């Protein structure tokens, strides 16, 4: 993303271009929102991490706002459909989306802004036990020894699960064949059965099956507090540092007063030990931010995803 475009995006996201005349309507929006049911769109099927997070948030917001909060699952289309659907909704705070680095389309979309940040999810690289590797370097050696013969699964093209593997293979001059699925659960089932060899998967989906898999690494720079002995990917591949942030998106143009109130309510929940523990049980480390911090982070990730997707598009092996 060129610098000038990034600056315009940051200005739009943070509301720095707002006119003083907008202050009164914004204040009114904050005082009256929400006055009817809210819908949270989930770009994944029921039972996924995004779905579980959305339902946890929905229950919390219902209690705080006194209005129904509905969860609408709209999986498929590499998660692009939900991004377009939410971005095209009225910017009134009544249509939101469970977004994150699992769906980089949301960070890249000019039609969405952050409503609230939840935190960073735990993403594992796992393999079937038959794959002759107990570490990332051993895995890469195995892939190089049998170029293009191993397969890796993902919940769709363009997801972080897909792109991380593309970048990892490129870094080590290895090849593996990508097989996209409609969901992480379906992809994981085939890795467990041995039909596919490996994949990147979130903790919430993988946890019941870890004994039947071989975890090799966790994404990001630091090890998971839940699995302190597991290597962080950046320990062997310092340039591949993508953290799957989980956040709530709103259509661009949603009044800043509404997104700020939403962020304040989410941050209030993130400050409670019991709520943080529920997130931790799903493999999400709570990281409360104000709305400006969240949008700055998303704009930064948009730059990084643009570069990663540009690189990956010339490397993909189907």
187 lies in the same domain as 89: no
| 271 domain residue, yes or no | yes
Q: Would you say residue 106 has pLDDT above 70?
A: no
Question: In terms of domains, do 92 and 190 share one?
Answer: no
Q: Given a cut of 90, is residue 38 above it in pLDDT?
A: yes
Q: Both tokens of residue 177?
A: 């064949």
87 shares a domain with 29: yes
pLDDT attached to residue 314:
59
Asked whether residue 318 is assigned to any structural domain, the reply reads no
Domain boundary at 235, 260, 290, which?
A: 235
How far is Cα 154 from Cα 144, in angstroms, rounded to an integer?
Answer: 20
> Is the residue at 179 inside a domain?
yes
Instruction: Inform me whether the pLDDT recorded for 14 exceeds 60.
Output: no
In a domain, 105, yes or no: yes
Domain boundary at 207, 235, 263, which? 235
Rounded to an integer, the average pLDDT of 61-75 is 94
- Comparing 15-24, 28-37, 42-51, which segment has the lowest mean pLDDT? 15-24
pLDDT tier at 158, thresholds 50, 70, 90:
confident
> pLDDT for 111-127, tens place per residue?
888 899 999 898 999 99
Q: 262 pLDDT exceeds 60?
A: yes
Instruction: Determine the pLDDT at residue 29.
Output: 55
Q: For 191, phi and psi rounded to 5 degrees? A: -70, -40
Q: What is the DSSP letter of 287?
A: -
So what's the pLDDT on residue 301? 76
Based on the domain organization, do 217 and 301 belong to the same domain? no
Chain-wide mean pLDDT for the chain?
85
* Domain match, 225 and 136 both: yes
Task: Name the domain boundary from 209, 235, 261.
Answer: 235
Pair 212, 300 in one domain:
no
Q: Has residue 224 been placed in a domain? A: yes
**Does some domain include residue 158?**
yes
The token pair that represents 20 in the structure block? 């003083």
Is 200 found in the same domain as 271?
Answer: no
Q: Does the reported pTM lie above 0.85?
A: no
In a domain, 134, yes or no: yes
Q: What is the CATH number of the domain that holds 182?
A: 3.40.190.10
**Which pLDDT tens digit goes with each residue over 177-235?**
999 998 899 999 999 999 999 999 998 899 899 999 999 999 988 888 888 889 999 99
For residues 215 and 129, state if they share a domain: yes
Residues 10 and 110 in one domain: yes
What's the total number of domains in the chain? 2
- Residue 208, judged by CB atoms within 10 A of its CB (0-12, 13-18, 19+), counts as exposed
Which residues are CB-neighbours of 199 under 8 A, at least 6 positions away? 125, 126, 152, 153, 154, 161, 165, 187, 188, 191
pLDDT of res. 156? 84
Report H helices in 152-245. 160-171, 184-193, 203-206
| Residue 63, domain member (yes or no) | yes
DSSP code at position 149: T
Q: Place 23 in a pLDDT band, splitting at 50, 70 and 90.
A: very low
Report the CATH number at residue 270. 3.40.190.150
**Domain span at residue 157?**
123-235
Average pLDDT value for residue range 285-300? 88
Mean pLDDT of 48-61: 94
């Amino acid at each position: 993303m060129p610098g000038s475009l990034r600056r315009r995006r940051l200005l739009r996201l943070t509301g720095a271009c707002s006119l003083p005349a907008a202050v009164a309507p914004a204040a009114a929006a904050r005082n009256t929102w929400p006055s009817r049911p809210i819908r949270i769109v989930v770009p994944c099927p029921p039972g996924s991490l995004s779905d579980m997070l959305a339902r946890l948030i929905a229950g919390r917001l219902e209690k705080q706002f006194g209005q129904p909060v509905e969860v609408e699952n709209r999986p498929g289309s590499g998660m692009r459909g939900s991004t377009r659907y939410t971005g095209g909704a009225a910017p009134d705070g009544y249509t939101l989306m469970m977004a994150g680095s699992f769906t980089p389309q949301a960070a890249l979309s000019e039609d969405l802004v952050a409503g609230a940040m939840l935190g960073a999810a735990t993403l594992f690289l796992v393999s079937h036990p038959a794959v002759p590797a107990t570490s990332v370097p051993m895995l890469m050696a195995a892939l190089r020894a049998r170029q293009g013969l191993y397969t890796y699964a993902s919940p769709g093209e363009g997801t972080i699960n897909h792109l991380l593997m593309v970048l990892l293979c490129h870094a080590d001059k290895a090849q593996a064949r990508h097989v996209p699925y409609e969901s992480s659960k379906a992809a994981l089932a085939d890795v467990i059965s041995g039909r596919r060899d490996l994949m990147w998967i979130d903790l919430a989906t993988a946890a019941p099956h870890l004994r039947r898999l071989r975890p090799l690494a966790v994404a990001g720079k630091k090890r998971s507090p839940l699995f302190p002995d597991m290597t962080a990917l950046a320990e062997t591949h310092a340039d591949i540092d993508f953290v799957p942030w989980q956040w709530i998106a709103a259509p661009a143009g949603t009044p800043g007063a509404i997104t700020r109130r939403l962020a304040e309510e989410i941050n209030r929940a993130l400050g409670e030990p019991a709520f943080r523990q529920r997130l931790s049980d799903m493999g999400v480390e709570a990281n409360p931010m104000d709305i400006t911090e969240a949008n700055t982070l998303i704009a930064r990730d948009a730059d990084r995803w643009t570069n990663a997707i540009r690189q990956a598009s010339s490397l993909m092996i189907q």
